[in-house]
Amino acid sequence: MTTQHDTSTSGAEAPAGVPSQPAAAKTGFAATDVLVNEFGAVDTVERAFETPDELQPHTELGLKDDEYDRIRQILGRRPTASELAMYSIMWSEHCSYKSSKVHLRQFGEKAPKNTRMLAGIGENAGVVQISDELAVTFKVESHNHPSYVEPYQGAATGVGGIVRDILAMGARPVAVMDPLRFGAADHPDTARVLPGVVAGIGGYGNCLGLPNIGGEIVFDPCYQGNPLVNALSIGVLPVERLQHKEAAGIGNIVVLLGARTGRDGIGGVSVLASATFDEGAEQRRPSVQVGDPFMEKLLIESCLELYDAGLVAGIQDLGGAGLTCALTETAAAAGTGMRVWLERVPLREASMSPTEILASESQERMLLIVTPEKLDEVLAVAEKWGVWATAIGEVTPSESDGHPGRLLITWNDQTVVDVPPGSLADDGPVYARPIREPADLILLQADRAETLPRPTTPEELRETVLRMIASPNLCDKTWVTEQYDRYVLGNTVLAQPEDAGVLRIDEKTGLGVALSVDGNGRYARLDPYEGAKLGLAEAYRNVAVTGAEPIAVTDCLNFGSPEDPAVMWQFAEAVRGLADGCQQLGIPVTGGNVSFYNQTGAAAIHPTPVVGVLGVLDDVASRVPMGFPPPPSADGDLLFLLGDTECELSGSEWAWVTHGHLGGRPPKVDLAHEQRLGKLMSQAAEREHIVAAHDLSDGGLSQVLVESCLRRNVGARITLPGHDEAVTPFVWLFSESAGRALVAVPRGHDKAFLALAKEHGVSCTPIGATTEEPVLDIQGQFTLGLDELREAFTATMRNLFGGSAEVGTRAIPDAVPAASRSVTLELTDPAATNVQPAGTASGSAGDAAEPVAASAPFATATGSAASGSATETGSAAAAGSPASGSPGAAGSSAVSGAPAADEPPASLPGGPVDAKPAAAPAPTDNAGEAEKN
């Protein structure tokens, strides 16, 4: 590709170390020479001093009058248009946590002492040490509103954003998870949103080569018009490779790495787009960001190589608020200043104004801090991987009076931003909003589900089991999970529908981690304090039943409007419950996310705290799956129910499915018992006393028996314990009492297991055994064949959303806008001076490219950008072990042509994405997939 150079005046002279033609000589980039936007002139700091009384649209951008007055006080003048946009973004609820910060402090104040945590709240993601050499970073975030507006891209970019958070900590991302909540399963809008969301998650994660190892799918009318799309990612890093975001080192260079900057995402920041442009302005990209997983894959590999070479002094991903957030947070974290030449930012559309560039949420971008002597090496690595890398600024010192430095941003020699970065990143408004218990709560809690009519005869119980397992929340979710690659990379040991996802981290030692995400909005609606603790307890228990030791927590707190005192009471109680619960369990909250304004009109969603728990397994070979293994003899394995069963039906799936009822108080939770149960499970797994384990939660014992039998097509004969008026056969089957698990114990291990349970103070009730006959026999009550159970269990999603899902064919065309499916998107101004580096994927939807000649190969993402050889530098697809940042062996990756415009490539050239070198595969427990599917 011919390199175009900017021949216009470059603006203020750059200091030593910063190229005057930013990176053009190295990577073919040139700064745009656009100076005038639709307004006709740029609003500069000089002009702001000259026009102090000019009216500004601060309320339209979401700023209150007192907040605007405070900005003027901080600056000693009115803000420029760019500064006003920056403050409106950074002081928004999404970025500043202004309504939640006073409550979130409890996570730090109540945090138990912990020697594992290397990075916590305030960083891009929490990091915990799992061995002498290795650490794990994980985090869950929300992308709720974009996923309703544009389900495919909203969900896809949610995955991309959380993966970059993990990457920014120095880790190789190794897996994702997706807790999802939708409106009523049979509602027409759910049929629009769900397929697009699932296709977006699968499309982005699969292209990155990341297994999707778990999650949730919940249906409830309260989420109608406001689905919850939460995304979790986990990564692995050597302890010494931990990265931070501080822009330290006076004179260090600020480098923008990754995709070019476009207009996508601007509308997601308040009403910035409409405040910036007239109605007659040119059509702009959708407010939802557009993702390009192939560019993200190249960005991941380039960053990991930069880390391993020691070329990065600081790094921050560009997600919500884009450059505005990245620049202010990196400078504020170090207490330094920063000088930025904004015209050097590579653009997809040359007509973009300074305000748009700063507010753009274009995906697949990172901000690096690099020492001047290493800049050439950084640019060379970027060129090798075919990603844009542009030196756009430098780190400047603190003020002479000792105050932190200032963020100075110029646009072709005109200063458009001059602010203290801490005022944006750290010193936004903090509100102690009014809180009030919901007016209907007392009556709601008095309406107990335990008083509802319930089945009593064996035939009624049988029919209830079939109805329950076919209900949308309890039915088989293979329709969704088959659209995700769960075993790519060869390190997945357990994945959906297991209680927790389990990954092998170290091939030599077998070291692994377990992850689960859980939450129950109905429980939290009835009692947000106990509901949050119940969500924590379930995630903790899901990890524990695999044999792992739970060690850390992340959370995503989804609530309605913080301006509603009842919602803020729910939020305050849920945070208090989660903080108290973590303190009692002795595991810290490492980070997370708050998502407010989840409501349609005046109707808020149920308070929905989603909790992720991470656990460690010394050897994944000792992991415990949920499915009963084939009986070793005609007698089968013995089945024990751990924990106590009470008549606790309020908030249960049975009450909702059968009666449409929500009322009463949720089950009681005993976190000391959860700890004892966890220790019992870990030791029993280590001593091989158990061969299967499944926690009891939604649907109770009935659901667990069905899932455990169908997982490997193994029957069970169950004798329900003795009962009284309170705990009847129905209660044994459908109660949702917390702190329980079902375990399968090999004959000959039962005495040792019972002794171990007694030692840990966990009640252990024998309830039956597995059998070679394919039936679930609840003796004295009813018998159900596994074929009948399977038909009821698996038919619901097919009936609701169509036949067998086919990734990329059935769901994607309806979900993806035509513009984002197009292989080649033309620039608004084809004569723009920003040029794509050789070797970059030309047809990515997220990074609109110049028209490509018909003879040009598609996505020659690997190899040397200078020579075009795909064999000199190796394939982007060949990666080492999860902890390694270096690519694997070189491989040929030439591609002869491009796919059709509406048909994304199946993988990067050169083989499967992130393919590992030949090694022993991790032990998996997917033997029952064929029978189950």
Please tell me whether the peptide bond between 57 and the residue prior to it is cis, using omega within 30 degrees of 0.
Answer: no
Token pair of 198 as six digits: 């699932």
**HSE toward the beta carbon, residue 598, CA cutoff 13 A:** 34
How far is residue 367's CA from residue 253's CA, in Å, rounded to a whole number? Answer: 10
How far is residue 126's CA from residue 552's CA, in Å, rounded to a whole number? Answer: 9
Please tell me whether the peptide bond between 631 and the residue prior to it is cis, using omega within 30 degrees of 0.
Answer: no
How far is residue 488's CA from residue 479's CA, in Å, rounded to a whole number? Answer: 19
- Helices vs strands, H then E, count in the chain: 30, 28
How far is residue 445's CA from residue 14's CA, in Å, rounded to a whole number? Answer: 66
H or E stretch covering 750 = helix 750-759
State the catalytic residue, choosing from 58, 94, 606, 694: 94
143 is known as an active-site residue: yes
DSSP secondary-structure letter at 458?
H
661 is known as an active-site residue: no
Strand partners, 616: 513, 549
- The Cβ of residue 723 has, within 10 Å, a number of other Cβ atoms equal to 13
Phi, psi of 612 (to 5 degrees): -110, 135
Q: Collapsing DSSP states into helix, strand and coil, what is residue 625?
A: coil
Which residues have a Cβ under 8 Å from the Cβ of 163 and sit 6 or more positions away? 173, 176, 208, 210, 233, 296, 300
The one-letter code for the residue type at 769 is A
Report whether 449 contacts 650 (CB < 8 A).
yes
Which residues have a Cβ under 8 Å from the Cβ of 475 and sit 6 or more positions away? 469, 793, 794, 795, 796, 797
DSSP secondary-structure letter at 279?
T
State the catalytic residue, choosing from 58, 103, 143, 760: 143
Report whether 654 contacts 468 (CB < 8 A).
yes
Report whether 231 contacts 319 (CB < 8 A).
no
Phi, psi of 481 (to 5 degrees): -70, -25
Closest CA to 859 of 834, 836, 839, 887: 839
Report whether 125 contacts 138 (CB < 8 A).
yes
How far is residue 50's CA from residue 46's CA, in Å, rounded to a whole number? Answer: 6
The residues assigned a catalytic role are 94, 143
